[in-house]
Structure 1
Amino acid sequence: MGEVRKLQKKLRQIENLEIKISLSPEERFKISRKAELRSRLAELQLQLSGPQQTLGIVGDGKKEKMKRQVEDAPEALPSQTPPASKILKGEEESKAQATPAPAAKQRGRGGETEIGRQRERTEPADVSHHCRESDNERQLRQEEAEFTSLKSSWEKAKFRLRLLEGHNDIVTCVVAIDNLVVSGSRDTTVKVWHVPTATEHKNLGGHTGGVTCLSAPPPEYCKRLARSLSVSDKERFILSGSADCYVKIWALNIGQCVKSIYTFNAVTALCFVPEEDGYIITGSDGGKVQAWSWHTFQNCQSINAHQEAVTSIQSQGPLVFSGSAEGGVSVWENRCSDRDPLRLLHHWSGQVTGCGGEGGRLTLSPRGDRVFLAHGRAWLKILHWRTGTMSRLTNHSSITGVTDCVHQTGGLLIGSCYDLANGESSLNLFSLPQCRYLTSLTWPDAPRILCFAAWTTGSGDHRWVTGGRDLIVWEQLPNSGKQK
Structure 2
Amino acid sequence: MGEVRKLQKKLRQIENLEIKISLTPEERFKISRKAELRSRLAELQLQLSGPQQTLGIVGDGKKEKMKRQVEDAPEALPSQTPPASKILKGEKESKTQETPAPTARQRETGGSAQTSGWQERTEPVEVSDHCPDASGGGVDSDNEWALQQEEAEFTSLRSSWEKARFRLRLLEGHNDIVTCVVAVDNLVVSGSRDTTVKVWRVPTATEHKNLGGHSGGVTCLSAPPPEYCRRLAWSLSLSDKERFILSGSADCNVKIWALSIGQCVKSIYTFNAVTALCFVPEEDGYIITGSDGGKVQAWSWHTFQNCQSINAHQEAVTSIQSQGPLVFSGSAEGGVSVWENRCSDQDPLRLLHHWSGQVTGCGGGPGGRVTLSPRGDRVFLAHGRAWLKILHWRSGTMSRLTNHSSITGVTDCVHQAGGLLIGSCYDVANGESSLNMFALPQCHYLASLTWPCAPRILCFAAWTTGSGDHRWVTGGRDLVVWEQLPSSGKQRGDVTVRRDSRLESCSLESEGDTEDDEETDDYEEDNDEGEDSGCDVTEDEGSGSWLRCVLQ
C-alpha distance in 2, partners of 1:46/1:86? 57
Structure 1 residues 414-463: Cα deviation after superposition (integer angstroms, max 9, x where no partner)? 00000010000000000011100000000111000000000011221100
Q: Which protein, 1 or 2, shows the higher relative CO under an 8 Å CA cutoff with sep ≥ 6?
A: 2
- How far residue 360 of structure 1 moved from its aligned partner, in angstroms, is 2.1
Structure 1 residues 149-168: Cα deviation after superposition (integer angstroms, max 9, x where no partner)? 11001111100000000000
C-alpha distance in 2, partners of 1:249/1:201? 17
Structure 1 residues 62-82: Cα deviation after superposition (integer angstroms, max 9, x where no partner)? 999999999999999999999
C-alpha distance in 2, partners of 1:128/1:411? 15
Structure 1 residues 371-393: Cα deviation after superposition (integer angstroms, max 9, x where no partner)? 00000000000000011100010
Query: Structure 2: which 5+ runs fail to align?
Result: 132-139, 492-551
Q: Aligned pair in 2 of structure 1 residues 50, 437: CA closer, same or farther (>3 Å)?
A: farther
Root-mean-square deviation (Å): 10.9
Structure 1 residues 294-337: Cα deviation after superposition (integer angstroms, max 9, x where no partner)? 00000000000001100000000000000000000000000001
Contact 2:245 2:257 in 1 (8 A): yes
- How far residue 275 of structure 1 moved from its aligned partner, in angstroms, is 0.3
What is the DSSP-based 3-state SS (H/G/I as helix, E as strand, rest coil) of the residue aligned with 1:417?
strand
Contact 2:99 2:118 in 1 (8 A): no
C-alpha distance in 1, partners of 2:392/2:233? 39
C-alpha distance in 2, partners of 1:267/1:125? 33
Contact 1:184 1:214 in 2 (8 A): yes
C-alpha distance in 1, partners of 2:123/2:73? 48
Q: Aligned pair in 2 of structure 1 residues 228, 86: CA closer, same or farther (>3 Å)?
A: closer
Structure 1 residues 266-314: Cα deviation after superposition (integer angstroms, max 9, x where no partner)? 0000000000000000000000000000000000000000011000000
Contact 1:101 1:436 in 2 (8 A): no
- Where do residues 87-236 of structure 1 align in structure 2 (5 Å cutoff)? 133=140, 135-236=142-243
Which deviates further from its counterpart, 399-408 or 135-144? 135-144
- How far residue 119 of structure 1 moved from its aligned partner, in angstroms, is 36
Q: Aligned pair in 2 of structure 1 residues 390, 123: CA closer, same or farther (>3 Å)?
A: closer
C-alpha distance in 2, partners of 1:199/1:153? 31
Q: Aligned pair in 2 of structure 1 residues 135, 38: CA closer, same or farther (>3 Å)?
A: same
Contact 2:90 2:125 in 1 (8 A): no
Query: Structure 1: which 5+ runs fail to align?
Result: none
- How far residue 265 of structure 1 moved from its aligned partner, in angstroms, is 0.2
Q: Aligned pair in 2 of structure 1 residues 73, 175: CA closer, same or farther (>3 Å)?
A: closer
Which deviates further from its counterpart, 142-151 or 208-217? 142-151
- How far residue 479 of structure 1 moved from its aligned partner, in angstroms, is 2.0
C-alpha distance in 1, partners of 2:467/2:120? 51
- How far residue 93 of structure 1 moved from its aligned partner, in angstroms, is 25
- How far residue 117 of structure 1 moved from its aligned partner, in angstroms, is 32
Which deviates further from its counterpart, 296-305 or 46-55? 46-55
Contact 2:256 2:267 in 1 (8 A): yes
Which deviates further from its counterpart, 64-73 or 234-243? 64-73
Contact 1:116 1:129 in 2 (8 A): no
Which deviates further from its counterpart, 296-305 or 90-99? 90-99
- How far residue 413 of structure 1 moved from its aligned partner, in angstroms, is 0.2
Q: Aligned pair in 2 of structure 1 residues 78, 49: CA closer, same or farther (>3 Å)?
A: farther
Structure 1 residues 333-373: Cα deviation after superposition (integer angstroms, max 9, x where no partner)? 00001000000000000000000336220000000000000
- How many equivalent residue pairs? 483
C-alpha distance in 2, partners of 1:101/1:373? 23
Q: Report the TM-score, using the length of structure 1 for normalisation.
A: 0.84
Contact 1:395 1:415 in 2 (8 A): yes
- How far residue 16 of structure 1 moved from its aligned partner, in angstroms, is 0.5
Contact 1:403 1:416 in 2 (8 A): yes
C-alpha distance in 1, partners of 2:439/2:67? 15
C-alpha distance in 1, partners of 2:23/2:349? 34
Structure 1 residues 5-37: Cα deviation after superposition (integer angstroms, max 9, x where no partner)? 211111111101111000111000000000000
Which deviates further from its counterpart, 189-198 or 84-93? 84-93
C-alpha distance in 1, partners of 2:122/2:234? 72
Alignment-derived partner of residue 284 in structure 1? 291
- How far residue 202 of structure 1 moved from its aligned partner, in angstroms, is 0.2
- How far residue 109 of structure 1 moved from its aligned partner, in angstroms, is 33
Q: Aligned pair in 2 of structure 1 residues 361, 104: CA closer, same or farther (>3 Å)?
A: same
Q: Report the TM-score, using the length of structure 2 for normalisation.
A: 0.73
- How far residue 397 of structure 1 moved from its aligned partner, in angstroms, is 1.1
Q: Aligned pair in 2 of structure 1 residues 117, 7: CA closer, same or farther (>3 Å)?
A: closer
C-alpha distance in 1, partners of 2:345/2:127? 59
Q: Aligned pair in 2 of structure 1 residues 323, 127: CA closer, same or farther (>3 Å)?
A: closer
Pick the aligned partner of 1:391 from 399, 418, 422. 399
Extract structure 1 runs of 4+ deviating beyond 4 A.
Answer: 49-131, 480-484
The percentage of counterpart residues that share the same residue type is 90
What is the DSSP-based 3-state SS (H/G/I as helix, E as strand, rest coil) of the residue aligned with 1:17?
helix
